[in-house]
């Protein structure tokens, strides 16, 4: 028996749409000898199976045990070839690559003139779509051919190709350095979250400034600008400069809207740019702009000309539902957002093979926050447990920390305080181990620990004291992140005033001017 979800072949077969399965069978049937082939029999078996049972495959006589591994590898390759040939998976990038392959074949046959003609057309398309890596490959092949195919303009042609190669190489190096910096910052963000003190701020700033390459703005194309905005965005996120996050994510998205064909060619970057813009608007509490931007985003990705594939479906699901929840959090309309839970859980089930643990846990945390806002604290605890009990989650330590703190508060509100002391100790140990114990968390834990010694008539005074203490951290450069995960101040105000936390947030929402 094989682990179904980790077997590449089984996952690939189950990811195929009806049209892709039909395309594969047409591809296999192009030669009559293949219609009864073993790899097609294996494909049909896996297509109908709910799990991958290798012993069953052998017992059905599809293949001998010692041949199964090779047959699986062969089937995997044939499916990929079929997908590559499918019109659904054709785009400008693959078309340019195909022309380069044709030109290479012609070159090896000694048909230099024909090869150069194809390369020239492919290079024009590559440059128009800022596919500079492929354009560089094309120029390099042109240089090779020109050394063997002597033309009357060899001198000017050599200079022309040399200048082209130099310019493309310079752009590719710049793009590579910017993309490396962006990726490294993103990795740090996922692993550790925001900077927690002046020391970390200085380290990240020095790292960013030392790695940021020098550039001439006038020669930057679409891709160079895109990676430049990405790098600045991740630096801004890490140092909690959310206005700069908004600034650079807006530049990112505007870059796409100003060049519509790039939306079609790079839909994933377009999706991510919009997600970060929406996230930034949430962090700066730009309620009106958040709703308008989300509406425009949804309209664009559901339009007829927007590309659709499995990856885009999963990302669209993540980004749309994350930000729909954020709208309800800003407005305090938690009850109105409950319908999203069913849709999110359905999506998690549908995309379970393509969603990683990190993104699933983020959705669970947001669902927990939604139920907390609805005062359904037991449901809140149920979803937070999914995060706290996830032993394999190695990323976003800050998410783990705040899930535990929110769980403590939810237990208190639900009257489930009989194990509170044990949970307090576990949470405290966890935060110490994570090196993530901040002043806001210290004050919260200190307050919850003291609840057993406070008389009922004193409780509101204690809430007021805690509110006054925490209020000073609301705009603190490193402590304010606590309020991004849990609106602690609104919770305290609801207890002081004896009103639902949703009502408190709704009142604050009306005062938001952005």
396 pLDDT tier (thresholds 50, 70, 90): low
192-201 per-position pLDDT tens digit: 667 878 888 9
State residue 62's pLDDT score. 84
Q: What percent of the chain has pLDDT over 90?
A: 39
- Quick check: 181 and 211 in contact, CB under 8 A? yes
Segment 388-417 mean pLDDT: 76
Return the higher-pLDDT residue of 234 and 399.
234
Q: So what's the pLDDT on residue 465?
A: 85
d(CA 373, CA 450): 24
Q: What DSSP string describes 144-157?
A: HHHTTS--TTHHHH
What is the per-residue pLDDT for 338? 95
pLDDT digits (tens, 9 = 90+) for 473-512: 888 887 776 777 678 888 888 888 888 888 888 888 777 6
Give the C-alpha separation, 20 to 76, whole Å.
Answer: 14
Query: Residue 226: pLDDT above 90?
Result: yes
Residue 321 near residue 363, CB atoms below 8 Å: yes
Q: What is the pLDDT of residues 421-448, one digit of tens each?
A: 677 777 777 766 665 567 777 777 777 7
What Å distances lie between residue 262 and 107, 219, 230, 455, CA to CA? Answer: 31, 18, 16, 64
Over 60: is that where the pLDDT of 153 sits? no
Average per-residue pLDDT for the chain: 85
> b/e string for 220-257 if b means 16 or more Cβ within 10 A?
bebbbbbbbbbbbbbbbbbbbebebbbbbbbbbbebbe
User: Cβ-count burial of 113 within 10 angstroms (0-12 exposed, 13-18 middle, 19+ buried)?
Assistant: exposed
The DSSP output letter for 241 is -
Q: Is residue 365 pLDDT above 60, yes or no?
A: yes
- Checking 70-75 for CB contacts under 8 A at 24+ apart, the result is 71/38, 71/39, 71/42, 72/9, 72/42, 74/39, 75/9, 75/39, 75/42, 75/43
Assess whether pLDDT exceeds 50 at residue 1. no
Q: What does the pLDDT average to over 65-70?
A: 88
Are 238 and 188 within 8 A, CB to CB? yes
Per 3-state DSSP, the chain is made up of helix, strand and coil in percentages (nearest 5) of: 75, 0, 25
pLDDT at position 462 is 80
């Amino acid at each position: 028996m094989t682990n179904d979800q980790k077997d590449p072949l089984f996952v690939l077969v189950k990811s195929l749409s009806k049209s892709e399965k039909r395309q594969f069978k047409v591809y296999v049937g192009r030669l009559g000898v293949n219609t009864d082939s073993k790899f097609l029999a294996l494909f049909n078996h896996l297509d109908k199976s709910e799990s991958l049972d290798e012993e069953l495959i052998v017992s059905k006589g599809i293949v001998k045990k010692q041949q199964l591994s090779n047959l699986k590898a062969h089937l995997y390759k044939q499916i990929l070839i079929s997908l590559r040939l499918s019109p659904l998976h054709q785009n400008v990038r693959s078309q340019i690559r195909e022309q380069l392959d044709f030109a290479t074949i012609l070159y090896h046959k000694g048909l230099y003139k024909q090869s150069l003609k194809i390369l020239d057309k492919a290079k024009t398309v590559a440059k128009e779509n800022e596919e500079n890596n492929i354009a560089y490959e094309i120029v390099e092949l042109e240089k090779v051919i020109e050394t063997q195919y002597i033309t009357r303009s060899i001198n000017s042609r050599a200079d022309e190709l040399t200048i082209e190669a130099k310019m493309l190489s310079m752009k590719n190096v710049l793009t590579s350095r910017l993309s490396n910096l962006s990726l490294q910052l993103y990795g740090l963000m996922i692993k550790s979250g925001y900077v927690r003190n002046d020391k970390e701020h200085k380290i990240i700033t020095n790292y960013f400034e030392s790695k940021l390459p020098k550039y001439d703005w006038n020669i930057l194309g679409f891709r160079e600008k895109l990676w430049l905005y990405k790098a600045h965005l991740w630096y801004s996120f890490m140092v909690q400069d959310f206005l700069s996050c908004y600034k650079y994510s807006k530049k990112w998205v505007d870059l796409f809207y100003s060049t519509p064909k790039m939306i079609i060619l790079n839909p994933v970057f377009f999706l991510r740019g919009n997600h970060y813009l929406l996230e930034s608007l949430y962090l700066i509490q730009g309620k009106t702009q958040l709703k308008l931007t989300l509406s425009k985003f949804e309209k664009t990705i559901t339009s007829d000309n927007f590309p659709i594939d499995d990856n885009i479906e999963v990302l669209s699901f993540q980004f749309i539902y994350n930000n729909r929840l954020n709208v309800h959090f800003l407005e305090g309309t938690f009850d109105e957002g409950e319908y999203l839970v069913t849709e999110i859980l359905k999506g998690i089930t549908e995309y379970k093979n393509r969603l990683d643990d990190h993104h699933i846990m983020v959705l669970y945390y947001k669902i927990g926050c939604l139920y907390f806002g609805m005062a359904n604290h037991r449901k809140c605890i149920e979803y937070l447990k999914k995060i706290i009990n996830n032993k394999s989650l190695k990323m976003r330590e800050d998410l783990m920390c705040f899930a535990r703190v929110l769980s403590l508060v939810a237990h208190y509100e639900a009257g489930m305080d009989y194990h509170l002391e044990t949970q307090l100790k576990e949470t405290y140990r966890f935060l110490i181990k994570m090196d993530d114990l901040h002043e806001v968390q210290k004050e919260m834990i200190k307050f919850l620990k003291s609840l057993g010694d406070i008389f009922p008539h004193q409780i509101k005074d204690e809430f007021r004291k805690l509110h006054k203490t925490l209020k000073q951290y609301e705009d603190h450069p490193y402590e304010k992140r606590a309020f991004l995960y849990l609106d602690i101040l609104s919770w305290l105000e609801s207890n002081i005033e004896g009103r639902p936390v949703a009502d408190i947030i709704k009142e604050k929402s009306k005062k938001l001017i952005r």
